[in-house]
Structure 1
Amino acid sequence: MVEPGALLDVLLAAGARSDRMTHVRHLPARTGTQADWPAWADPDLVQGYRALGVDRPWLHQVEAADAAWSGRHTVLATSTGSGKSLAFWLPALSTARAASAESLLDPGRIESVARRATTLYLCPTKALAADQLAALDRLLVAGRTRDVRLSTCDGDTSLDERRWVQEHADVVLTNPDFLHFALLPQHRRWARLLGSLRYVVVDECHAFRGVFGAHVGLVLRRLRRLAASYGATPTFLLASATTSDPAASAARLIGVDPSEVTAVTTDASPAGRKTFVLWQPPELPGSDAPWSALLPADDPWATPLALPRHVTRSADDLSPPGPDDVWATGADVTPPPPAFPGAEDPVVLSEALAAVLPGLGDVPGPGAGRFGGSDGSGDARPGHLGTGEGSGPLGTGERVVAEPSDRPRRTATAEIADLLADLTAAGARSLAFTRSRRGAESVAATTRAHLLEIDPTFATSVQAYRGGYLPEERRALEAAIRSGALRALATTNALELGVDISGLDAVLIAGWPGTRVSLWQQAGRAGRAGTDGLVVLVAREDPLDTFLVHHAEAIFDTPVEATVFDTTNPYVLAPHLCAAAAEQPLRSEELDLFGPRTADLLAELVERGTLRRRPSGWYWTHNEQASRLTDLRGSGGDPVRVVESVTGRLLGTVDAASADSTVHDGAVYVHQGASFVVDELRLEDGIALVTRRDVDYGTWARWVTTTEIQSVDAEVPWGPITWGFGSVDVTTQVLGYQRKRIPDLQVLGTEELDLPARTLRTTAVWWTAPAEVLLAAGVTVEATPGALHAAEHASIGLLPLLATCDRWDLGGLSTALHVDTEQATVFVHDAYPGGAGFAERGFTLGATWLRATRDAIAACRCFAGCPACVQSPKCGNANNPLDKAAAIRLLTAVLTHAPTAS
């Protein structure tokens, strides 16, 4: 291990990069508290753990294992690397071994075979299941026992292997997708497993949030229902990162009352000292190129962070926020509480924003917090706090200190590649987390190029890791980083979850990962097993990242989020009711399991002819497989396979929803540093044929989106302005793509494409701007599209301030004349079928949300608009047109009609 202090010196490059470090926080080490092995624990398993170096367990492991052994649903919410797996495998394997021994008492009777207890292990990714299987194999070998039969079973498992699992396995490791598509619809083949089901382990359960979490919650209800029909009532064991109110979240996930769940939240494992650095890339030299041409498509806006509520902590308490640092929400955390006190009140919110956000009103722009206080003391330099005066965008009425010109900063991915190369050359073992697959490939390739200039032998020690790789490739990369054969991986969040990769010196994070839960999960990869580690959060150019790297309290002194999802969402619930009826007719006494809306929704499904009602229950009578009605992860269908045309070699897969924009004809597809060009995308076959070719450019798709209102569920007038909420159809079509030279991203050409349109039925919030409001704002006909477009981008970026979601959970559209409203209109919609409650939250807090949007745009130091305020790298119109000044005037005019309270 390399000392974090020495690695920090490497990053600072002998002071040459010191100005990029905006904050450093040293998180103190923590000592561990051990406990005795439980008396009920299987002696051979205990011997196995001791042989692997676990002489005595940590206290939290014993508390969780004891609760599970006693038959109580249990959730263990502690930090990364705290040994959560021992807590659920000790009771599960001890039960399996006891049942195995019992069956040997009379091996001639078939009833004995049925008594072998089984365990079902569920996790979000195949990689994590494979990692757990390898760990279990090591444990059983160390304990010199092989009478527990283990196996993974997922979409990659052959039919022969699947039959063996159905007939013999005691512990089955899989994921919710396999449960939904294969195991539950074919439950009669799994009767042995379901009838003997003693434990269901749900690992990394904090990952099941939002719409995905609602789907998984309903899959688990279907599992409980079928297990009960075979005579089993399994105990659920859940492992989670540190989250707000884990007992309530776990109970909502499995469909029980929170009083039935035991939560263990005090982490008794040791932790090494962490050095946590906040980092902002430098400004680039002046350029006449537009902002949109300087930013890659893989560098999207981050999620605006709920601002910190005042939490009482001692001045010397520098530990990461724990599970007790939460809002006083009680057991029910849906919907989420306001981001901070007063968020429901627009006046209080505006004052709160002015106190913590840089640049609101007369307060200067981002970066001021580092040099001086709110009284104007400190470094009086352009763009920072000081006595000098400045002026905002023309026509805004703002008096803010502004830079003399728009100066873009270096991208986070480019900065991360430099830092990763320096760390690798210094001998460190590192992970670099990026926000996209393209980002992971880009960081790995750029890092290798840097290392080639230092020592060619270093270049082979850095690789990319992402979803879409073949299973054998992922396993090989995981083994290589564990063994030290690889020194660094540039990865997506695929390695955020519990794959056991210990002994890492440093973790680099390219941009805010979306939630504080994810941030601490990724940071926990550095210095695991009680060793010291270095963590660096590198800001991308967006509002949240800029805010965070200059306001460390929003990271270190703010509670983690709750896991929020809604299993009663009718668009989510309806297909699961169909799937449940197909598995086994639904009975009246079972409806409470699925929530209070179930009876009404079933009546609607019967009226539509989807289900049939009989005196004995509700039946699925169609030939199609009901489980195919829904996709748990919202990927839009089966993945598209990327196949090399010449050899027929399968390179990887791409989500169906992103295939049009990433593997269209002519697209450049990068795989482990090698570039391929797509010859043909066959959507009907789910195949993209590619040819290996070295090119000096990348491809970026361009698309168009339309929004059509299907129903108005709620409407509120603000004088001449109308706020609406309801169901909409969002239709997206990829029209073409640009080829941009790498690395300067100069546009080399534009090509047209002929691809089908895709329609999403979801929920949206919208507001109108009639002609008199535009006139009062001084927004001309020519300026209207740019003003609306800028307001749309900024409002999408600010909604996560008030709703627990990621920017990628949202979409939007603005138009100077919408066919349904017959006025200028701005839409913001949920990016999930049926909606997820985020747009509804925006509708409820309309004035609060819009005022925060207006203030954030006005706060930015740029003149004409930039990625930190109104530009969006995911814009399908290449950020054109945008008019920052007109957007501020328009929002100001709209807010004059807002009610006095939200």
Structure 2
Amino acid sequence: MESDELLDVLLAGGRRAERATHVRHVPAREGVREPWPAWADTDLVRGYRALGVDSPWRHQAQAAQAAWAGRHTVLATSTGSGKSLAYWLPALSAVRGRAAEAALDPGRIESARRRASVLYLCPTKALAADQLAALDRLLTAAQVRDVRVATCDGDTSTDERRWVRDHADVVLTNPDFLHFSFLPQHERWSRLLASLQYVVLDECHAFRGVFGAHVALVLRRLRRLAAAYGASPTFVLASATTADPAASAARLLGVDPHEVESVTEDASPAGRKTVVLWEPPELPGYGPDASTPWASLLPDEDPWATPGEPETRPRRTATAEVADLLADLVVHGGRTLAFTRSRRAAESVATATREHVAHADPSLRATVQAYRGGYLPEERRALEHAIRSGSLRALATTNALELGVDISGLDAVLIAGWPGTRVSFWQQAGRAGRAGADGLVALVAREDPLDTYLVHHPEAVLDVPVEATAFDPTNPYVLAPHLCAAAAERPIRAEELPLFGDRALAVLDDLVANGVLRRRSSGWYWTHAEPASRLTDLRGAGGNPVRVVETDTGRVLGTVDAAAADATLHPGAVYVHQGATFVVDELHQADDVALATRRDVDFGTWAKWLSTTAIVDVHDERHWGPVAWYLGTVDVTSQVLGFHRKHLPDLRVLGYEDLELPPRTLRTSSVWWTVPASVLEEAGVTLEALPGALHAAEHASIGLLPLLATCDRWDLGGLSTALHPDTGEATVFVHDAHPGGAGFAERGFHLGATWLTATRSAIADCRCTTGCPACVQSPKCGNANNPLDKAAALRLLDAVLRHATA
């Protein structure tokens, strides 16, 4: 379908035209091809041609040539631009070439060479499975039977792992398996390590924040062990378009940026893409006399309205709006992905869309499904195949389909709510119109100040460069456990310290002083019985996933992350799986199992929880006159207290039930500053304005700290309160969102004046009137960015900073 036809479907022939706040047409792009390189394996070339690839695009050929020449290479081009050919062509050509060389003269021992091996790393198991299927298609088309490919991860059986260790040429896995199993047992993987010629890192922009720092150190450990076995592999990285990919890739690998070849000019063809920013309509009726199903849920007046400004009316939810738009696209034959912000929203959009399309054609119900994390692997593979083949017309999905699972031929992408970063937005948008076809992308705003701002300020979405990938592998909180893991794998020698960065020696000295490592003239040694790899979790998951099991049959329905289990799998919770509703009977936290019974219900459940931040101890403090700064340990505690049952779809409250679930506590490092009443009076911040002033200052400071602490915004959390029980004063907390801390809050404490000055400047220099995503709004705010008071925050920060220089 052409993009103009898709846009007309969205606008309903003009009846919904006022909801489109901005329409941008991105022109089509012609593709530029290059000839196959002379070194490319002829059988592989034949296989690619059989699959429809007559010759590579220029960026594919450039990246493949750089990798073949032995240069670390990063390819940062758009979704659907064929990045996989750029790494599989040199990697598989090397495997086949070395295999042929090894067989040239088997009678002469001096001519024997190892077969080249390849390690493929990606953030998710789903992506590894997708790549395995793609490789099978290529090798089958090429009629190549001498390349042995296998996945190996935490789900792989012992017998399968043994075969992979002994025979596989290409191993597809993830950094977690490398950290917990592959590197600690490197002797078992010596065949692969000794012959390792290429390491592929797919979707490497996902390696950011603390997770990125962990992965960077895992890769340094891999490089170190490969060198010990005589190998010096070439790394090939595939990334979405990001700022300065060569610098990010170099930091990930631990090499100088000039050692990385960067290919960023996309030469693949692209159809005309239409990007629509969309604001759902105001709800009909408002106030106590409104005769609508929502009347009982609406306040008599807007509590955040500014005197003299037009009254703000509640708008339709983004999920309800997206379900309508998705249904219209399905009825008109469009193939669409609808991205949502949560698992619940994905199920809700799919269910509502099925109901809508059934009115037009009951057979269309089966063409709409949900896709999200927590599904069983075989369910996800079946859904991916169905959307590829066209038997499904629509998937309502979480960001689980944002990464590179190959799904092409889609007409449209709907995005229910700002996904948090421009990198994510363009990754999701890139799913529309792949393979040179036209595509439509619509960002549908949630009822949130951040989303509202973005759909009315298209330049903030469409005209600003994507974010850089931020992470710091020299962070001592992250570096320390990896140095222990490296020492356990092979004693660390002095000449290897540059691989781990300038802080490595100081961190090793601390580990020795605390009895964690032992120092000998020959290096640093791990001498404990327990595995050093268990000192850290790359993703900070905080517990095992909870399995959801059908009570009557014992069938596993799916899984839920441990952190979300209390709020979504408590007794009485409604769990939705592909439109079918189950009610949770029991949650067995010790066994990581929830039992649920299939029941048709017309309500959903919403947990009510309480979060608190308690000061455990203070490590350091400083005073700016009456303003006090502290660095210490805090307990961030969340507890699910009960849940509401709400009728669907009008969200009418049916009842509330208390729960007795234990609190969940994150002990971490935090920086906090307190403001006494005298400073508030000096700043002219009244008690009424104080919550909004503190909240705005908290958001802006969290947004600025990554510039000083080399972290990601999602690595931080915060709290602001007009009166904290532990301080007795107005307080702003910014804490590390990782158990034990990761050093970011400590960095903020030591750079307090610089940090708050930058925060104040970011707010003051922003041209908005009342606050926007560039200054005080946050994409991760749990309070829907309310209340926020930009002007009061500026007065507050001015007063605080005056004392810093007094």
TM-score (norm 1): 0.81
The reply on whether 1:895 has 2:798 as its aligned counterpart is yes
The reply on whether 1:489 has 2:395 as its aligned counterpart is yes
Structure 2 residue corresponding to 1:662, chosen from 543, 549, 568: 568
Q: Report the AA paired with residue 446 of structure 1.
A: A
Report if the CA contact (8 A) 1:242-1:265 is conserved.
yes
Match of 1:36 in 2: 35
The reply on whether 1:142 has 2:136 as its aligned counterpart is no
Report if the CA contact (8 A) 1:793-1:872 is conserved.
no
Q: Which moved more, 1:207-216 or 1:768-777?
A: 768-777
TM-superposed deviation, 1:721: 2.7
The reply on whether 1:772 has 2:674 as its aligned counterpart is no
Q: RMSD across aligned C-alpha pairs, in angstroms?
A: 3.2
Match of 1:331 in 2: none
Deviations along 1:837-880, one digit per CA (max 9) or x if unpaired, are 48856943314535766999994599xxxxx97999735xx99x
Q: For 2:110 and 2:360, locate their aligned partners in 1 and report how far apart those are by CA, in whole Å.
A: 67
Task: Report the CA distance shift for 1:146/1:223 in structure 2 as closer, same or farther (over 3 A).
Answer: same
Match of 1:874 in 2: 782
Match of 2:541 in 1: 635
Match of 1:233 in 2: 232
The reply on whether 1:175 has 2:174 as its aligned counterpart is yes
Task: Report the CA distance shift for 1:807/1:749 in structure 2 as closer, same or farther (over 3 A).
Answer: farther
Q: For 1:136 and 1:633, locate their aligned partners in 2 and report how far apart those are by CA, in whole Å.
A: 28
Q: For 1:262 and 1:838, locate their aligned partners in 2 and report how far apart those are by CA, in whole Å.
A: 35
Partner secondary structure for residue 618 of structure 1: strand
Report if the CA contact (8 A) 1:792-1:812 is conserved.
no
Deviations along 1:666-690, one digit per CA (max 9) or x if unpaired, are 2222111112222222222222222
Q: Report the AA paired with residue 845 of structure 1.
A: W
Structure 2 residue corresponding to 1:756, chosen from 662, 686, 693: 662
TM-superposed deviation, 1:21: 0.4
Task: Report the CA distance shift for 1:108/1:646 in structure 2 as closer, same or farther (over 3 A).
Answer: farther
Q: For 1:661 and 1:788, locate their aligned partners in 2 and report how far apart those are by CA, in whole Å.
A: 30
Q: Which moved more, 1:677-686 or 1:516-525?
A: 677-686
Task: Give aligned pairs, total.
Answer: 783
Q: For 1:812 and 1:120, locate their aligned partners in 2 and report how far apart those are by CA, in whole Å.
A: 39
Task: Report the CA distance shift for 1:897/1:609 in structure 2 as closer, same or farther (over 3 A).
Answer: closer
The reply on whether 1:831 has 2:737 as its aligned counterpart is yes
Q: For 1:56 and 1:38, locate their aligned partners in 2 and report how far apart those are by CA, in whole Å.
A: 10
Report if the CA contact (8 A) 1:433-1:440 is conserved.
yes
Task: Report the CA distance shift for 1:720/1:218 in structure 2 as closer, same or farther (over 3 A).
Answer: same
Match of 2:213 in 1: 214
Partner secondary structure for residue 249 of structure 1: helix
Alignment of 1:642-653 (within 5 A): 642-653=548-559
Structure 2 residue corresponding to 1:708, chosen from 615, 619, 626: 615
The reply on whether 1:48 has 2:50 as its aligned counterpart is no
Structure 1 residue corresponding to 2:464, chosen from 527, 543, 558: 558
Task: Report the CA distance shift for 1:174/1:871 in structure 2 as closer, same or farther (over 3 A).
Answer: closer
Match of 2:82 in 1: 83
TM-superposed deviation, 1:171: 0.3
Structure 2 unaligned residues grouped into runs of 5+:
296-301
Task: Report the CA distance shift for 1:570/1:637 in structure 2 as closer, same or farther (over 3 A).
Answer: farther
Report if the CA contact (8 A) 1:796-1:807 is conserved.
no
Match of 1:794 in 2: 696
Report if the CA contact (8 A) 1:20-1:282 is conserved.
yes
Match of 1:130 in 2: 129
Task: Report the CA distance shift for 1:622/1:749 in structure 2 as closer, same or farther (over 3 A).
Answer: farther
The reply on whether 1:265 has 2:171 as its aligned counterpart is no
Q: Report the AA paired with residue 256 of structure 2.
A: D
Task: Report the CA distance shift for 1:870/1:44 in structure 2 as closer, same or farther (over 3 A).
Answer: closer
Match of 2:512 in 1: 606
Report if the CA contact (8 A) 2:367-2:392 is conserved.
yes
TM-superposed deviation, 1:120: 0.2
Report if the CA contact (8 A) 1:725-1:840 is conserved.
no
Partner secondary structure for residue 49 of structure 1: helix
Q: Which moved more, 1:808-817 or 1:535-544?
A: 808-817
Report if the CA contact (8 A) 2:450-2:779 is conserved.
no
TM-superposed deviation, 1:751: 3.0
Match of 1:339 in 2: none
Task: Report the CA distance shift for 1:603/1:161 in structure 2 as closer, same or farther (over 3 A).
Answer: same
Partner secondary structure for residue 513 of structure 1: coil
Task: Report the CA distance shift for 1:454/1:536 in structure 2 as closer, same or farther (over 3 A).
Answer: same
TM-superposed deviation, 1:23: 0.7
Q: Report the AA paired with residue 91 of structure 1.
A: P
Structure 2 residue corresponding to 1:675, chosen from 567, 581, 587: 581
Report if the CA contact (8 A) 1:858-1:888 is conserved.
no
Report if the CA contact (8 A) 1:67-1:73 is conserved.
yes
Q: Report the AA paired with residue 86 of structure 2.
A: A
Structure 1 unaligned residues grouped into runs of 5+:
296-390, 863-867
Match of 1:407 in 2: 313
Match of 2:19 in 1: 20
Match of 2:299 in 1: none
TM-superposed deviation, 1:62: 1.2
Report if the CA contact (8 A) 1:121-1:174 is conserved.
yes
Deviations along 1:72-101, one digit per CA (max 9) or x if unpaired, are 111111111111111100110000001111
TM-superposed deviation, 1:470: 0.8
Report if the CA contact (8 A) 2:631-2:672 is conserved.
yes
Match of 2:357 in 1: 451
Q: For 1:848 and 1:71, locate their aligned partners in 2 and report how far apart those are by CA, in whole Å.
A: 42
Partner secondary structure for residue 524 of structure 2: strand
TM-superposed deviation, 1:730: 2.4
Q: For 1:124 and 1:557, locate their aligned partners in 2 and report how far apart those are by CA, in whole Å.
A: 29
Task: Report the CA distance shift for 1:585/1:807 in structure 2 as closer, same or farther (over 3 A).
Answer: closer
Partner secondary structure for residue 13 of structure 1: helix
TM-score (norm 2): 0.90
Q: For 1:18 and 1:838, locate their aligned partners in 2 and report how far apart those are by CA, in whole Å.
A: 47
TM-superposed deviation, 1:778: 7.1
Partner secondary structure for residue 606 of structure 2: strand
Alignment of 1:452-601 (within 5 A): 452-601=358-507
TM-superposed deviation, 1:765: 3.8
TM-superposed deviation, 1:519: 1.3
Report if the CA contact (8 A) 2:694-2:793 is conserved.
no
Partner secondary structure for residue 460 of structure 1: helix
Q: Report the AA paired with residue 199 of structure 2.
A: V
TM-superposed deviation, 1:884: 6.4
Task: Report the CA distance shift for 1:660/1:629 in structure 2 as closer, same or farther (over 3 A).
Answer: farther
Q: For 2:188 and 2:356, locate their aligned partners in 1 and report how far apart those are by CA, in whole Å.
A: 54
Report if the CA contact (8 A) 1:856-1:869 is conserved.
no
Deviations along 1:311-356, one digit per CA (max 9) or x if unpaired, are xxxxxxxxxxxxxxxxxxxxxxxxxxxxxxxxxxxxxxxxxxxxxx
Identity over aligned residues, as a percent? 68
Q: For 1:614 and 1:689, locate their aligned partners in 2 and report how far apart those are by CA, in whole Å.
A: 54
Q: For 1:612 and 1:644, locate their aligned partners in 2 and report how far apart those are by CA, in whole Å.
A: 51
Q: For 2:636 and 2:132, locate their aligned partners in 1 and report how far apart those are by CA, in whole Å.
A: 42
Bigger RCO of structures 1 and 2 (CA < 8 A, at least 6 apart): 1
Report if the CA contact (8 A) 1:462-1:489 is conserved.
yes
The reply on whether 1:693 has 2:599 as its aligned counterpart is yes
Q: Which moved more, 1:453-462 or 1:199-208?
A: 453-462
Alignment of 1:240-389 (within 5 A): 240-287=239-286
Q: For 1:821 and 1:648, locate their aligned partners in 2 and report how far apart those are by CA, in whole Å.
A: 51
Task: Report the CA distance shift for 1:679/1:787 in structure 2 as closer, same or farther (over 3 A).
Answer: farther
Task: Report the CA distance shift for 1:756/1:470 in structure 2 as closer, same or farther (over 3 A).
Answer: same
Partner secondary structure for residue 469 of structure 1: coil
Report if the CA contact (8 A) 2:696-2:788 is conserved.
no
Q: For 1:202 and 1:896, locate their aligned partners in 2 and report how far apart those are by CA, in whole Å.
A: 48
TM-superposed deviation, 1:750: 3.0
TM-superposed deviation, 1:245: 0.9
Q: Which moved more, 1:520-529 or 1:599-608?
A: 599-608
